[in-house]
Amino acid sequence: MAKDLNHIDVITKSCSLSMPKSFERAAAHRAKSIIILPAKNERYEVDTDAFVSLLALQPITQIASIPIIVEASNSTTCELLKSINGLNVQPVEMVASKLFVQCSRQKGLLKIYKHLLNQCKNVFNLFSLTELGGMKYMDVRRKIHDAVVCGIFRSGKIYFHPSDDEVLKETDKLLLIAPVRWRRRPQYTLLSRPKETKTSSHYSESREDQGSSMAATTDKETRLKSIVKRPSKSLSKTSDYMLGPKESVLIVGWRPKVTEMIREYDSYLGPGSTVEILSETPVKERSSIINPPLQSQLKNVKVSHRVGCPLNYDTLKDTIINIRKSAKSDKKVPLSIVVISDRDWLIGDATQADKQLAYTLLLAENICEKHGIMVENLVSEIVDTGLGKQISKIRPSLSFIGAEEVMSRVTAQVAETSELNEVWKDILDAEGDEIYIKEISLYMKEGEKISFSELSERAVLRREVAIGYVKDGKQHINPTNKLEPLSLEMTDSLIVISEFEGEQPIMMDRETSR
């Protein structure tokens, strides 16, 4: 791998990470940042090892100011690690399971994550400028045209949906999506305004300088007629209005971390959903991990088990057919088949595990095609993403997700800018704001030719942040000319940061929409 690196040298050392001397020999006190990665799969051992390594760093002089990025298994451990005195610890929660579930439910989401984590493309940037103090959020987000304004970073927290009338403080930072090179541009050009495109319909900035509140009201009323409305105030994701869809999920493979995936599915799916797990691991062993307390915490998902070898054609066929039979009373319930690394597969070579994952997914696709079973998602984990791309080209219906690779990119980005930890923590949390690919029909009528800036204004009325769009299967994040009219079809999509996935048209009067 080192041969392909253009800008850095990699030096390796073997040592004990529980001894201060190891870090002293590595000149830890001179580092820009220190990243502690997990070396084991068992979650408690991961957290214990990280804790011991931090204790070993504690006695080293001049270490207090150096950010130490630590991958921890859960939020509770993160808080514990942050409490260690004398160290600047920035724990990053290991959310590979959350990433996998999110990407398995939205085709194309993985590409968006990879784009936002690729330093050669558009990424999250935090930008501070004292001149912004006293300006209204609406004025700032409308004046910045070569980046997407996503929200305000204030007092260590990210706010994706501040009120348009929110007055910025001098200490606030803007969260932007822009190229890395954008950070090097002169600050005085931040609020520069390009020439307006006359053909850009409804864009309110054409009236901005007139100072007419009547014009702004007219624009708002026009937009409200063009979008599918939703409540303007936050609701709990578990409220009746926001109940997720009823689905059936077959998880092929087993390991202890499956419980994290089950919790994640429970956060997204609606009541009556089922998750069945197929593996050779005895049910008694699985039940000791998916224990009664966990079962009682699940609100929407019922978990069932089946014992058998996933690589066996007949076993996999019987499992898939039985799942469809059990849902015969409701054929509209979508079925997803998810293949994960089985505990026994992880013991051997990673490349062998990838082959078994790919083979099992191809087997599942073949069974579904032969028996006329409709599948919403056919998804597998993978380590070698190159192999996944190769197979997906031949079989476009199959998706391979390298969640561990994406997680490593998140950690690298946080090591570069530690404040982005809060941003990604929110985006990768089922209870926070997430990235969704939504139907364009929620934001425009058929035949309209409107600009990305106008789509952004309409998204704001739905408490969403438009960061790009998908046209003809190709994603465009932070489009270059945001005032240029777009020729979008009803088959295209808008990429947004939103609190909710589901959509339900509702009636809103003018007071509610305000």
CA-based angle 38:261:426, to the nearest 5? 75
Sign of CA dihedral 262, 267, 268, 269: positive
Greatest Cα pair distance in the chain: 72
| Same domain flag for 267 and 391 | yes
Contact 23, 62 (CB under 8 A): no
* Residue 136 forms part of a structural domain: no
Last residue of a domain, one of 412, 446, 479: 412
User: Which tens digit of pLDDT belongs to each residue from 334-351?
Assistant: 999 999 988 776 666 777
pLDDT at position 317 over 80: yes
Least confident stretch, 35-49, 213-227, 414-428:
213-227
Mean pLDDT within 281-291: 87
User: Which tens digit of pLDDT belongs to each residue from 413-465?
Assistant: 999 888 999 999 999 888 889 999 999 999 999 989 999 999 999 999 999 99
User: Which tens digit of pLDDT belongs to each residue from 100-129?
Assistant: 999 999 989 999 999 999 988 999 999 887
- Mean pLDDT for the chain overall: 84
DSSP string covering 188-237:
GGTT--PPPPTT-TT-THHHHTTT-HHHHHHHHHHHHHHS----SS---T
| Same domain flag for 311 and 456 | no
Axis-axis angle for helices 258-268, 96-105 (nearest 10): 40
- pLDDT classification of 145: cutoffs 50, 70, 90: confident
Nearest to 203 by CA among 485, 446, 464, 488: 485
Compare 454 and 41 and report the one with higher pLDDT. 454
| pTM of the complete model | 0.84
* Residue 421 forms part of a structural domain: no
Last residue of a domain, one of 378, 412, 446: 412
| Same domain flag for 198 and 247 | no
| Same domain flag for 395 and 455 | no
Contact 410, 424 (CB under 8 A): yes
- pLDDT classification of 505: cutoffs 50, 70, 90: very low
Q: What percent of the chain has pLDDT over 90?
A: 55
SS3 70: strand
Sign of CA dihedral 377, 380, 385, 386: negative
Q: 3-state SS string over 75-105?
A: HHHHHHHHCCCCCEEEEEECCHHHHHHHHHH
* Residue 405 forms part of a structural domain: yes
User: H-helix or E-strand containing 301?
Assistant: strand 301-307
pLDDT at position 55 over 50: yes
Axis-axis angle for helices 96-105, 109-116 (nearest 10): 130
* Residue 314 forms part of a structural domain: yes
DSSP state of 397: T
Residue 397 makes CB contacts below 8 A (sequence gap 6+) with: 365, 378
Contact 354, 341 (CB under 8 A): no
SS3 334: coil
* Residue 219 forms part of a structural domain: yes
- The predicted pLDDT at position 221 comes to 75
| Same domain flag for 261 and 390 | yes
Instruction: Supply the CATH number for residue 348's domain.
Output: 3.40.50
* Residue 406 forms part of a structural domain: yes
| Same domain flag for 344 and 375 | yes
**φ and ψ at residue 504, rounded to 5 degrees:** -145, 120
| Same domain flag for 260 and 305 | yes
pLDDT at position 166 over 90: yes
Q: DSSP 3-state helix, strand, coil percentages of the chain (rounded to 5)?
A: 40, 20, 40
Give the total number of structural domains in the chain: 3
DSSP string covering 102-161:
HHHHSTTHHHHHHHHT-TTSEEEEEE--GGGTT-BHHHHHHH--SSEEEEEEETTEEESS
- pLDDT classification of 213: cutoffs 50, 70, 90: very low
Mean pLDDT within 9-28: 92
Contact 459, 466 (CB under 8 A): yes
Residue 387 makes CB contacts below 8 A (sequence gap 6+) with: 354, 358, 400
* Residue 487 forms part of a structural domain: yes
- The predicted pLDDT at position 43 comes to 66
Least confident stretch, 11-25, 77-91, 183-197, 400-414:
183-197
307: domain range? 240-412
| Same domain flag for 401 and 509 | no
pLDDT at position 182 over 90: no
Compare 1 and 209 and report the one with higher pLDDT. 1
| Same domain flag for 218 and 315 | no
* Residue 281 forms part of a structural domain: yes
Q: In 227-342, which ranges are continuous DSSP H helix?
A: 258-268, 283-287, 292-297, 313-326
pLDDT at position 506 over 70: no
Give the count of beta carbons closer than 10 Å to the beta carbon of residue 254: 24
pLDDT at position 235 over 60: no
User: What does the alpha-carbon distance between residue 160 and residue 500 come to, in Å, rounded to a whole number?
Assistant: 13
| Same domain flag for 324 and 463 | no
CA 137 to chain centroid, in Å, comes to 25
Q: What percent of the chain has pLDDT over 70?
A: 85
| Same domain flag for 264 and 371 | yes
Last residue of a domain, one of 94, 113, 145: 94
pLDDT at position 215 over 70: no
In this structure, the chain runs to a length of 514
User: What does the alpha-carbon distance between residue 150 and residue 423 come to, in Å, rounded to a whole number?
Assistant: 10
Decide the pairing of beta strands 148-154 and 173-179.
antiparallel
pLDDT at position 507 over 50: no
User: What does the alpha-carbon distance between residue 99 and residue 438 come to, in Å, rounded to a whole number?
Assistant: 18
Contact 328, 300 (CB under 8 A): no
| Same domain flag for 284 and 309 | yes
